Chain A
Amino acid sequence: MSSFEQFHIDFYQSNYTIEDQEEGCNSYGSDKNLCESRKRQAEEQPAGGAFVPSDMLLSPQSYSGSILQPACSPDAPSQLGYVDGFDEEPPLLEELGINFEHIWQKTLTVLNPMKPADGSIMNETDLTGPMVFCLALGATLLMAGKVHFGYVYGMSAIGCLAMHALLNLMSVSGVSHGCVASVLGYCLLPMVILSSAAVLFSLQGTPGTVLALFIIGWCSLSASKIFTSALAMEGQQLLIAYPCALLYGLFALLTVF
């Protein structure tokens, strides 16, 4: 069970998960190894529960409060857990699947493209961060006097579809739409920086062009880095970086002109 140690992702520091883990382990004693290792991990980290992402679960019923199943504890009297007792409901953010720690980690990964990325961070498709970044881009464009929300939305949708098709054709293992959308949305953060610079000074001219090219390179480098590490495509980073650069170039065109 060494893979459990790799996924030391603290989901949410709350007492709820530990109590429920023990309850779950007691009532579903079939997976003895699973319960014992979880209990060991719960003892190692008494403050927060070591939470395994849902795609590593072997017996989903013994885990309540997982991201995808905001349902009840296993020995609750009613079948619809969240209708039952107010205390046993998972916290709202956990139910929605918004994990600030993960969002912050992914943002830091994007902001530092030189550091090699961990391929496992993109296992959960999280669209909250990308939504925030798209809205931030639209807001900074608005401050520069351009109302282009519809264009940002349309171009990101078409870009996600195109990248999804390309990645499925180029990689041995496929990707899902959510993963592609999540990665592309996170790597939109430097573009927000470019458009906030556009508020302060006009980007038409040589320094603006140089800055735009630098930002496009930054975005596509981090996006291709995450894609190649998540899909295990070595040697193809430049091939993935070029379509990403084209997509972010479209956004840069919107920002500059």
Chain B
Amino acid sequence: QDWQVRYQQDTPVAPRFDVNAPDLYIPAMAFLTYILLAGLALGTQNRFSPDSLGLVASSALAWLLLEVLSVLLSLYLVTVSTDLTPIDLVAFAGYKYVGMIVGLVAGLLLGRVGYYVALTWCCLSIFVFMIRTLRLKLLSEAAAEGVLVRGAKNQLRMYLTMAIAAAQPLFMYWLTFHLLR
């Protein structure tokens, strides 16, 4: 299946026309579902109060903003010319919430073992997804097609891509393990 974004244009295209264009529906719904599931996990452990729901929501939002801002800062420092808008970065950062939800559901239903198995699988998959997506956007044309171009600039960009992709599993673990004590 072809996962590349069609419509290589300057203007962003709405998801009605391009199936692979990033849109904020899945990340937003995944974020809200994560908050709900966090409330459910706290409730089954008798740690629930409506205040804690707001606490989980605002802390997750704060971590999301922090991550997007740090990615923006690192993109600025590396001086890479890319067509990634901040909203695109928010969308990409939100995709890891899907993995978190799967991990939480597995943890609620199957215990800690199920949680770790599901989380490992989701971490790997989001790592691969981020590498593939960012490689198209950040690296130069030659490297995107698989040819290894030696050069300081490309190496720096490769490190940046790996760092962004590696940050995702870290966030996924950090934001879920305290809910399944």
Chains A and B bind each other: yes
Inter-chain CA distance A185–B90, complex, in Å, is 31
The interface residues of chain A lying within 8 Å CB-to-CB of B99 are none
Does A7 count as interface, using CB distance less than 8 angstroms?
A: no
B43→A257 contact, CB < 8 A: yes
* Contact A250 B43, beta carbon cutoff 8 Å: no
Nearest CB of chain B from residue A7's CB, rounded to whole Å: 33
Q: Determine whether B50 belongs to the interface, using a CB cutoff of 8 Å to chain A.
A: yes
Nearest chain B residue, comparing its CB with the CB of A250: B36
Contact A253 B40 (CB under 8 A): yes
| 27 pairs, CB–CB < 8 Å, chain A vs chain B | A148-B50, A151-B50, A204-B43, A204-B44, A239-B25, A242-B29, A243-B29, A243-B32, A246-B29, A246-B32, A246-B33, A246-B36, A249-B36, A250-B39, A250-B53, A253-B36, A253-B39, A253-B40, A253-B43, A253-B48, A253-B53, A254-B50, A256-B43, A257-B39, A257-B42, A257-B43, A257-B48
The main secondary structure of chain B at its interface with chain A is helix
What distance in Å separates the Cβ of A157 from its nearest Cβ neighbour in chain B?
Answer: 14
**What CA separation (Å) do A250 and B53 show in the bound complex?**
9
Q: Which residues in A have some Cβ–Cβ distance to B below 8 Å?
A: 148, 151, 204, 239, 242-243, 246, 249-250, 253-254, 256-257
Q: How far is the CB of A232 from chain B (nearest CB, A)?
A: 15
- B residues near A148, Cβ cutoff 8 Å: 50
Write out the residue numbers on chain B whose beta carbons fall within 8 Å of the beta carbon of A249.
36
Q: How far is the CB of A118 from chain B (nearest CB, A)?
A: 27
Which B residues are closer than 8 A to A by beta carbons?
25, 29, 32-33, 36, 39-40, 42-44, 48, 50, 53
**Closest 8 pairs (CB-CB, A-B):** A257-B43, A257-B48, A151-B50, A253-B39, A246-B32, A249-B36, A246-B36, A242-B29
Shortest B55–chain A CB gap in Å is 13
Chain A neighbourhood of B25, CB < 8 A = 239
Distance between Cα atoms of A19 and B40 in the complex (Å): 59
Q: What residue in chain B is nearest A256 (Cβ atoms)?
A: B43
- From DSSP, what is the main secondary structure of chain A's interface residues? helix
Given A243-B32, A246-B32, 17 new contacts (CB under 8 A) = A148-B50, A151-B50, A204-B43, A243-B29, A246-B33, A246-B36, A250-B39, A253-B39, A253-B43, A253-B48, A253-B53, A254-B50, A256-B43, A257-B39, A257-B42, A257-B43, A257-B48
Residues of chain A lying within 8 A (CB to CB) of residue B48:
253, 257
List the A side residues contacting B39 at CB < 8 Å.
Answer: 250, 253, 257
Q: Which chain A residues lie closer than 8 Å to B53 at the CB level?
A: 250, 253
Chain B residues with Cβ under 8 A from A253's Cβ?
36, 39-40, 43, 48, 53
On chain B, the residues within 8 Å of A250 by CB distance are 36, 39, 53
State in angstroms the CA–CA spacing of A254 and B33 once bound together. Answer: 15
Contacts of B42 in A (CB 8 A): 257
Q: Can you name the residue of chain A whose Cβ is closest to the Cβ of B43? A: A257
Cα separation A257 to B53 with both chains bound (whole Å)? 12
A151 to B32, CA, bound (A): 17
**Chain B residues with CB under 8 A of A254:** 50
Q: For the complex formed, measure the closest distance between the CB of B125 and the CB atoms of chain A, giving whole angstroms.
A: 22
Greatest chain B CB density within 10 A among A151, A243, A246, A257 is at: A257
User: Which residues of chain B have C-beta atoms less than 8 A from A256's C-beta?
Assistant: 43
Q: Which residues of B contact A204 (CB under 8 A)?
A: 43-44
Q: Which residue of B lies closest to A165 (CB)?
A: B28
Q: How far, in whole Å, are A242 and B39 apart by their CA atoms in the complex?
A: 17
| Chain A residues within an 8 Å CB radius of B29 | 242-243, 246
**Minimum CB–CB distance for A71 against chain B, Å:** 44
B33 partner residues in chain A, CB cutoff 8 A: 246
- What separation, in Å, do the CA atoms of A239 and B26 have in the docked complex? 10
Q: Given the complex of chains A and B, what is the CA–CA distance between A243 and B39 in angstroms?
A: 16
Cα–Cα, bound, A250→B43 (Å):
12
> Measured between alpha carbons, how far is A159 from B48 in the docked complex, in Å?
20
CB nearest neighbor in A for B48: A257
